[in-house]
A and B are shown apart, each in its own frame.
Chain A
Amino acid sequence: MKSNNLRKQLAIPYAIFLIFFVVLPLLVVIYYGFTNGDGEPSFDNFIRFFKNGKTIGTLVYSIAIAVLTTFFCLLLAYPVALIIAKGAYDKHTKFLMIFVLPMWINFTLRVTALKEILTFIEGNLAYHQFFNTILCMVYDFLPFMIMPIYNSLTKLDNGLIEAASDLGANKIQVFFKVILPLSIPGIVSGITMVFLPSMTNYVVLDMIYNSTYIMGSLIGSYFSAYDWHNGSVISIILLMIILGVTVISNKFTESDSKTQMAR
Chain B
Amino acid sequence: MIKFFQHIVIWLVLLFLYAPIMILMVYSFTDSTMIGTIKNFSLQNYVTLFTTPELVSMIVGTFTLAIGVALLSTFLGTTGAIGAFYSKKRTRGAIELANQIPVVNADVVTGFSVCILMIVFFKIRKETFIPLIIGQTALCTPFVYLSVLPRLKQMDHHLYEAALDLGCTTSMALRKVVIPQIVPGIVSGFMTAITLSLDDYFITTYTKPATFDTISTYVVNATKGSQTEIKTALWALSTLIFVLAALYVVAQNFAKKKEEKT
Which A residues contact B (CB, under 8 angstroms)?
3-4, 6-15, 17-19, 21-26, 28-29, 32, 76, 79-80, 83-84, 87-89, 94-95, 97-110, 112-117, 119-120, 139, 142-143, 192, 196-197, 199-203, 206-207, 210, 216, 219-220, 223, 228, 231-232, 235, 238-239, 242, 245-246
Q: Per-residue CB proximity of B129-169 to A under 8 Å, as 1/0?
A: 00000110110010001000000000000000000100001
Chain B residues lying within 8 Å of A102, measured Cβ to Cβ, are 17-18, 21
- Rounded to whole angstroms, the CA-CA distance of A113 and B28 in the bound complex is 11
Residues in B48-89 with C-beta less than 8 Å from chain A? 75-77, 79-80, 82-84, 86-87
What would 16 A/B residue contacts be, using CB atoms closer than 8 Å?
A6-B174, A8-B91, A9-B83, A10-B80, A10-B174, A13-B75, A14-B76, A105-B242, A113-B21, A192-B104, A200-B107, A223-B112, A231-B116, A232-B112, A239-B109, A242-B104
Q: Report if B209 contacts A (CB, 8 A).
A: no
Q: A7-B82, A29-B112, A115-B223 are in contact. Are A88 and B95 (CB under 8 A)?
A: no
B103 to chain A, nearest CB (A): 10
> Which of A80, A139, A232 is most buried by chain B, counting CB atoms within 10 A of its CB?
A80
Please give me the residue from chain B that is nearest to A77 by CB atom. B13
B213 to chain A, nearest CB (A): 11
The 8 closest A-B pairs by CB, nearest first: A11-B83, A14-B80, A10-B83, A25-B113, A104-B245, A113-B20, A108-B219, A3-B170
Which B residues contact A (CB, under 8 angstroms)?
3, 6-7, 9-10, 13-14, 16-21, 23-24, 27, 34-36, 75-77, 79-80, 82-84, 86-87, 91, 95, 98-99, 101-102, 104-110, 112-117, 120-121, 134-135, 137-138, 141, 145, 164, 169-171, 174, 195, 198-199, 201-202, 206, 215-216, 219-220, 223-224, 234, 237-238, 241-242, 245-246, 248-250, 253
Could you tell me if B234 and A196 are in contact, using CB atoms closer than 8 angstroms? no
Q: A83-B10, A87-B6, A88-B7 are in contact. Are A14 and B253 (CB under 8 A)?
A: no
Could you tell me if B112 and A219 are in contact, using CB atoms closer than 8 angstroms? yes
Chain B residues lying within 8 Å of A99, measured Cβ to Cβ, are 13-14, 17
Could you tell me if B35 and A3 are in contact, using CB atoms closer than 8 angstroms? no
Chain B residues lying within 8 Å of A197, measured Cβ to Cβ, are 106-107
Could you tell me if A22 and B138 are in contact, using CB atoms closer than 8 angstroms? yes
- Rounded to whole angstroms, the CA-CA distance of A95 and B115 in the bound complex is 40
Could you tell me if B112 and A14 are in contact, using CB atoms closer than 8 angstroms? no
Could you tell me if B9 and A97 are in contact, using CB atoms closer than 8 angstroms? no
Give the contacting residue for B6; candidates A3, A88, A216; CB below 8 A. A88
B81 to chain A, nearest CB (A): 8
Chain B residues lying within 8 Å of A107, measured Cβ to Cβ, are 199, 201, 216
Chain A residues lying within 8 Å of B36, measured Cβ to Cβ, are 120
Q: A109-B238, A196-B106 are in contact. Are A89 and B82 (CB under 8 A)?
A: no
- Rounded to whole angstroms, the CA-CA distance of A246 and B106 in the bound complex is 12
> Which of B102, B135, B238 is most buried by chain A, counting CB atoms within 10 A of its CB?
B238
Chain A residues lying within 8 Å of B102, measured Cβ to Cβ, are 22
- Rounded to whole angstroms, the CA-CA distance of A83 and B3 in the bound complex is 9
Chain B residues lying within 8 Å of A88, measured Cβ to Cβ, are 3, 6-7, 10
Chain B residues lying within 8 Å of A10, measured Cβ to Cβ, are 79-80, 82-83, 86, 174
Could you tell me if A113 and B23 are in contact, using CB atoms closer than 8 angstroms? yes
> Which of B20, B112, B141, B202 is most buried by chain A, counting CB atoms within 10 A of its CB?
B112
Could you tell me if A139 and B241 are in contact, using CB atoms closer than 8 angstroms? no
- Rounded to whole angstroms, the CA-CA distance of A197 and B10 in the bound complex is 25
- Rounded to whole angstroms, the CA-CA distance of A115 and B87 in the bound complex is 50
Please give me the residue from chain A that is nearest to B10 by CB atom. A83
Chain A residues lying within 8 Å of B250, measured Cβ to Cβ, are 97
Could you tell me if A8 and B83 are in contact, using CB atoms closer than 8 angstroms? yes
Q: A11-B80, A101-B245 are in contact. Are A22 and B198 (CB under 8 A)?
A: no
- Rounded to whole angstroms, the CA-CA distance of A122 and B248 in the bound complex is 35
